[in-house]
């Protein structure tokens, strides 16, 4: 078995995230889902008009679909973060989220 030096794999210019930075990043990420819901609620009548939804109560399915999609994404992101690491998956997920929000 070969001797592997773990220090050779670690970047010398990397500075670990401090506690205040960590709290800000995690709070921002956690706030995205409620913020998206709060932005979607006033737009529900316009969403119903755009998708030609005749029954007003069926607009609630838009919110249910959003929450189901957000929850189902956890089953995808978990194994991906185990395989590739948290940072690349988080950055990729945030990029996909931003593009999907614009669309």
pTM score, two decimals? 0.58
Alpha-carbon torsion angle 87, 34, 63, 41, nearest 10: -140
User: Is the confidence at residue 6, as pLDDT, over 60?
Assistant: no
pLDDT digits (tens, 9 = 90+) for 75-97: 988 898 888 888 888 888 889 88
Report which of 75, 57, 63 is spatially closest to residue 33, judged by C-alpha positions. 63
**Distance between CA atoms of residues 56 and 59, nearest Å:** 6
Half-sphere exposure of 87 (CA within 13 A, CB side): 3
**Distance between CA atoms of residues 83 and 89, nearest Å:** 9
């Amino acid at each position: 078995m070969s001797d592997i030096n773990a220090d050779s794999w670690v970047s010398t210019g990397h500075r670990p995230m401090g506690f205040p930075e960590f709290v800000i990043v995690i709070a921002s990420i956690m706030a995205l889902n409620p913020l998206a819901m709060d932005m979607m609620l006033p737009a529900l009548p316009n969403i119903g008009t755009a998708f030609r939804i005749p029954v007003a109560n069926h607009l609630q399915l838009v919110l249910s679909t959003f929450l189901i999609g957000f929850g189902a994404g956890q089953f995808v992101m978990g194994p991906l973060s185990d395989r590739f690491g948290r940072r690349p998956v988080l950055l990729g997920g945030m990029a996909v989220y931003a593009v999907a929000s614009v669309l």
